[in-house]
Amino acid sequence: MITNQSPTETVLAEKPEEVKAEVLLAALSSTHALSFISAVLAGLCGLLIIFGGSLLVRLIAFAGILIALLQSYYFWRVSLDRKLLPVLLKHGAKSFDQGLRFLFPAKADSLITLTMSDRLQGIRKLFFRQCWLAIVQSLLTLLSLVLCLISAAC
């Protein structure tokens, strides 16, 4: 039988959610770099709070630290999902949900069965939120540095 599909298209047609999950796992592996950058920027913001001259510089640097804390939460969530996604792919949704109910018994009633597509979309949203927070933190740090240099207080 002759088909017009490439081998890649055939695999995507047969297992689209698994391929999407593997691509997502590859993207999630970059979160360690984002976390490292966030920690460095938070340290820089801490120095600006200590040595920055104006109140505005210190407030912006403090906002950068708050964003870093929020970004750390998303790093934890994305890292957890990066570890749990292979378990989901290996054991299936039903067994995975039973494992979650074991881990979070208080939430057992609120846990509903989601489709694989919904689960992947949720992980993707967490990943992009973490990326956006890293961008915002970078901009706040840069702004506080520029204001500090302009005011010549540093």
Residue 133 lies in a domain: yes
Residue 60 lies in a domain: yes
84-140 residue pLDDT tens: 889 988 888 888 888 888 887 776 566 677 788 888 999 999 999 999 999 999 999
Residue 8 lies in a domain: no
Number of domains in the chain: 1
Closest CA to 130 of 62, 71, 48: 71
Residues across the chain: 154
Residue 1 lies in a domain: no
Residue 105 lies in a domain: no
Residue 10 lies in a domain: no
Domain that holds residue 47: 32-99+111-151
Closest CA to 127 of 37, 20, 25, 28: 28
Alpha helices in the chain, H assignment, sequence order: 7-14, 16-28, 31-51, 55-91, 93-103, 116-151
Residues 71 and 34 sit within 8 Å (Cβ to Cβ): yes
Residue 144 lies in a domain: yes
57-94 residue pLDDT tens: 999 999 999 999 999 999 999 999 999 889 988 888 88
Residue type, 107: K
